[in-house]
Structure 1
Amino acid sequence: MKNLVNLSIFALLSLGGFTSCSPTKTTNKLSLEKTQFGEHNNAQVDLYTLKNSNNMTVKITNYGATVTNIIVPNKNGELGSITTGFDKFESYFSDEYIQNSPYFGGTVGRYASVIKNAEFALNGTNYQLDKNMGDNHLHGGSIGFDRQVWQSDTIQNQEYVGVKFSLTSPDGDQGYPGNLKVSIEYQLNNKNELSMHYTATSDKDSPLSLTNHTYFNLNGFNSDILDHKLQLFSEHILKPDDSGIANGELVAVKNTVNDFNQNKRIGDAFSELPMGFEHFYVFDNPNKQLQKVVIMSEATSGRTLEVFTTEPSTLLYTGRYTSDNLAREDGTQYGQFKGFCIETSKYQNGPNIPTSPRSILKANQSYDETTVYKLSW
């Protein structure tokens, strides 16, 4: 989704490079390395490189708890980058990136997707949020969680290597109530699973919906994603109102172009949906079980991505707004329909939908959700 706000003021930074490096730490052929990535608002920005025994590499920075790259082999054993992102910190502050604002790999919060009219009512109080998408509120506001430096702690054991990122969001941040303490723990294991475990507490009732905004292209951006095959286990999507924002009504996908319960080429739907997908799919998961919700595969590379989640819904987004002028420093070209997102989360506009599951975190209760990306080739 496109953030229409010009955030160029955030490009006025003192940027650094790879000026320090900690030794690689290895556990059972799992390794973790920390390097300096830059500096933001006088805080050091680091890059964490996680590797497993199957030549899978995940790079994550504490700026926005952002996945900057995932590198895996193809069916011939050739390594390739399969996610959007940049190798230099300053690239996240280029004019083109700021104006397009595609949220490459970022952790989105406090509330993922759109809140209509940037407002909601809770416990008899009306709250006005930051308007950063016209009259609406998108992905936590102009200074959401993806634009802040998180505290970080590394994790290493026989099962996985990982990083736990933590952040405190004060009462009134972007208009939200409550002092919120939030964390996300990334874990990489030798099953080629990248797990994201989100936890949080607040001292006031507050909307909360966290997601990861990684864009995937399983053929390594050699072409667009239209030949990818998708299976998505959902019977309903959220119906948008006249403004394009969900109002809580569910629509069955059976016998429509939106039905991916059977594996099929995603590009076949573009004959009816020329701008691709920006659809919220709903899962039948009242008990918050970690269940498989998506299988995406690509034949030329032999790569497959499976997504598991405890969340009640996901946005399927095929990059309709991504600028064709964005590219990784090595020349890997991004652009419209060159990547897809599986943004597991609560319902879009959930604070204004009484039936939206778990969109409000109650005071002094625990937020606890997990999403897993599993790769194979």
Structure 2
Amino acid sequence: MKNVLFAVIACLSFAGAYAKPQPAVKARITKAPYGEIDGRQIFQYTLTNSNGMQVKVINYGATITDIITPDKNGKMGDVVLGFDSLKQYLGRDNALLGAVVGRVANRIANKRFMLDGKEYILMSNIHGGPKGFDKQVWNIEEMPGKEVALKLTYFSKDGEMGYPGNLNVTVIYTLTNNNELKLNYSATTDKATPVVLTNHTYFNLAGNTAKVTDWKLTILADQYLEADKDVMPSGNLLDVKGTPYNFTEPTAIGKNIAATGNGYDLSYALRNKSGEMALAAMAYEPLSGRLMQVYTTEPGLVVYTGNHFSERIIGRDGLHFNKWGALCLETQHYPDAPNHANFPNVILRPGETFRSETVYKFSVKK
């Protein structure tokens, strides 16, 4: 009996010595029906990494509906604004929440631009038009690999919203086990066309809709784009030093927000213009301890503080929105770039591939 006991202990010790530690949560992707649009099924996919962080995506607008991360106490919370149903995402209160914006995000003056000697007249001067990429049904599929990822594709026909060329667009969302959400964009065309893609997620790191004025924001930019009252760029870049737009050091968003008038809604010219990945911004919410770092290959960053929100808008879990109740950090090329020769080029031509990458990395400071 004693020999048997020793043998059992020896076996357990041997097994324990070689047992690999298992993650607390198995990284996985799940899928659930979310509704229907014009006979096309909408699904919500949930990406879960080995830490339990989750990202939820629907194929309407390639929309990020949820990003669920821990606070400094380990409590999970949703750090983006969203709605409870597809009906709400289809409604008038949806201000591009979590969606991919294109064919050209942000603004184009007077709804027109010249390209190779021809003038193109658009359906709108903002965010790709009334039926832009944010209002389209995308194809969606899971991607195999070590980390959980989704591939979404959309075919934008020649002439759609006034833009030239048949454009094939791909967006890949990857949730890493380092609590990073990676956004990889690519596109090809059969005619020269402007392409500016971004994601319009509204972040609230507190996990609710409280105002973002106490957050500490850092932006790696020494200049911003001069713009008129309609946020249309003049073509000039101005220094942030001595203005309410200076976030070169960690600064409370609310410190100078009153001096801006209605709140922040402007484009920054990032220091990094190499096209390589670099840190662009950091946002820290002191009560939850959540820190979000934004890395991108893009030369510009749009900062928007939800200035148009009001308590009339009811979001997820019945929570009403608040003015200055969210922060958008939209990585992209400069607005109205087709009409400004001094801005970084946004024209994609046949035989070329548009590529862009942005990473939102989440962590906590205790």
TM-score by length of 2: 0.90
Q: Is the 8 A contact 1:83 1:217 kept in 2?
A: yes
Q: CA deviation at 1:153?
A: 1.6
- The aligned counterpart of 2:145 is 157
% identical equivalent positions: 38
Q: Does 1:76 align with 2:64?
A: no
- Secondary structure of the equivalent of 2:89? helix
CA distance in 1 between partners of 2:317 and 2:94 (Å):
20
Q: 1:139 to 1:311 in 2, by over 3 A?
A: same
Q: Does 1:39 align with 2:68?
A: no
* Structure 1: gaps (5+ residues): 1-25, 132-136
2:106 is aligned, of 104, 107, 113, to 113
- The aligned counterpart of 2:272 is 285
Q: Is the 8 A contact 2:304 2:327 kept in 1?
A: yes
Q: CA deviation at 1:276?
A: 1.2
TM-score by length of 1: 0.88
- Secondary structure of the equivalent of 2:221? coil
- The aligned counterpart of 2:4 is none
Q: Is the 8 A contact 2:304 2:329 kept in 1?
A: yes
CA distance in 2 between partners of 1:289 and 1:270 (Å):
31
1:57-99 per-position Cα deviation (integer Å, ceiling 9, x unaligned): 11000110000111111111111111011232112133xxx1x
CA distance in 2 between partners of 1:269 and 1:242 (Å):
18
Q: Is the 8 A contact 1:115 1:138 kept in 2?
A: yes
- The aligned counterpart of 2:192 is 205
Q: CA deviation at 1:255?
A: 2.2
Whichever residue aligns with residue 375 of structure 1, its letter is F
Q: 1:50 to 1:242 in 2, by over 3 A?
A: closer
- The aligned counterpart of 1:297 is 284
- The aligned counterpart of 1:246 is 233
Whichever residue aligns with residue 37 of structure 1, its letter is Y
The residue correspondences of 1:202-351 to structure 2 (distance < 5 A) are 202-221=189-208, 223-241=210-228, 244-351=231-338
- Secondary structure of the equivalent of 2:161? helix
Whichever residue aligns with residue 165 of structure 1, its letter is L
- The aligned counterpart of 1:18 is none
Q: 1:86 to 1:222 in 2, by over 3 A?
A: closer
| Structural RMSD (CA) | 1.6
Whichever residue aligns with residue 117 of structure 1, its letter is N
1:241-263 per-position Cα deviation (integer Å, ceiling 9, x unaligned): 46541022100111222111100
Whichever residue aligns with residue 142 of structure 1, its letter is P
Q: Does 1:355 align with 2:350?
A: no
Larger mean CA deviation between 284-293 and 258-267 belongs to 284-293
Q: Does 1:169 align with 2:156?
A: yes
Q: CA deviation at 1:222?
A: 5.3
CA distance in 2 between partners of 1:222 and 1:139 (Å):
24
- The aligned counterpart of 1:86 is 83
CA distance in 2 between partners of 1:175 and 1:337 (Å):
33
Runs of 4+ in 1 over 4 A off after TM superposition: none
Q: Does 1:30 align with 2:7?
A: no
Whichever residue aligns with residue 115 of structure 1, its letter is I
CA distance in 1 between partners of 2:185 and 2:195 (Å):
11
CA distance in 2 between partners of 1:318 and 1:374 (Å):
20
Q: 1:152 to 1:306 in 2, by over 3 A?
A: same
Q: Is the 8 A contact 2:59 2:140 kept in 1?
A: yes
CA distance in 2 between partners of 1:193 and 1:67 (Å):
14
Whichever residue aligns with residue 79 of structure 1, its letter is M
* Structure 2: gaps (5+ residues): 1-22
Q: 1:230 to 1:185 in 2, by over 3 A?
A: same
1:129 is aligned, of 117, 122, 125, to 122
Structure having the higher Rg: 2
Q: 1:230 to 1:38 in 2, by over 3 A?
A: same
